[in-house]
Amino acid sequence: MSKHVDPDTILLKMPSLRAVKAFVAAAKYESFTRAAEALCVSQAAISRQIRELESYLGAQLFTRVGRAVELTAAGAVFFDAAQLSFVNIAQAAERIRNSQSSKKVLTVCCSPAFSALWLSDHLQEFFAQCPDIELNLITTQNFLTMEPGVQPDIFITKISRIREGYRSYPLCHDVIYPVCTPQYLQQHPEISTIEGVRDSALLNLSPYGRSQVAEHVDWGVWLAFQAIDIDDRPANSPQIFNANDYNLLISMVLTHQGIALGWNHLVTSLVQRGLLVRPIEQQVQLRNSWHYLSCRENSDNEDELQRFREWILGKFPRR
């Protein structure tokens, strides 16, 4: 005789997980089109799933603002719960997969610039030394506000105390100097003087959208350290291009579009390879400004974390 099982009220009350997945993607990207691209489905499928979920809940979840969408009050409530649930499911699945693997996984969080300009140059060496360790990389500009449930093993930031439960190790000071390509310097010999640099096509890192946890050095600040006023640029000087994406600025420098400020730990390999040059010798060194490696204490992957810590600390000279 089969045993009777009562209906599971929680599971019966659950909306379609496919619809919830479409909703979370649309809320995250604020666009049905981008959600469809992220989930590799059509926009019509996303719209259909959202309508199904709204019908089930009896509430409107989005309002349209131009081409974008914004969460309604009801949508915001549902998004917070749904996103956290998906993060928990994903992390549980990751832990199970990792436990079945001979490799341990470390989650590393750093800025996009550090990832693209420093890690990309050195990770091959790390993997050769530690083939049993996998890295899961998360990049962000704002380390103080992260998605719920995300707890990296390692942070690389300018924040000395990133949060409770982490120990920080200093890596390097900020050393900042102008950089351009050899071709740009040849075409613009006037930039061999600091006044020539001031009056040239400056590619400027703006603070917009950044975490604002440390002092910001742009061209105006850097020139002021040299007792040069950026406002003294002639009226016919090339325009100053501003962007908060450092990788974009370096890409523009590498395609001979102007001069950017180079943070030594990010551009030194490009200078050593001859892709970039320093048109003048002046630099700014901020001795009270450090970059830090912050490691989670009492980690399940303590041995792997220690090996990563020793490797990266060995890449920066002791000061």
CA distance 13 to 113: 45
Per-residue pLDDT tens over the stretch 116-174: 999 999 999 999 999 989 998 988 877 776 665 668 899 999 888 888 889 999 999 99
Strand partners, 216: none
For 260, other C-beta atoms within 10 Å of its C-beta total: 27
Q: How far is CA 138 from the centre of its chain?
A: 7
Helices then strands, each counted (H, E), the chain = 13, 10
- Can you list the residues of the chain whose pLDDT is less than 70? 1-8, 95, 97-103, 145-150, 209-215, 318-319
Q: Which residue has the tokens 């379609």?
A: 16
Query: Which of 157, 19, 148 is closest to 85 using CA atoms?
Result: 148
Token pair 């640099």 is found at 197
- pLDDT value of position 289: 83
Please state the pTM of the whole predicted model: 0.68
How many C-beta atoms surround the C-beta of residue 249 within 10 A?
24
Residues 6 or more apart whose CB falls under 8 angstroms from that of 209 comprise 141, 244
Report CA 145 to chain centroid distance, whole Å: 12
- Sign of the torsion formed by the C-alpha atoms of 99, 104, 107 and 112: negative
What's residue 317's pLDDT?
Answer: 75
Please tell me whether residue 288 adopts helix, strand or coil conformation.
strand
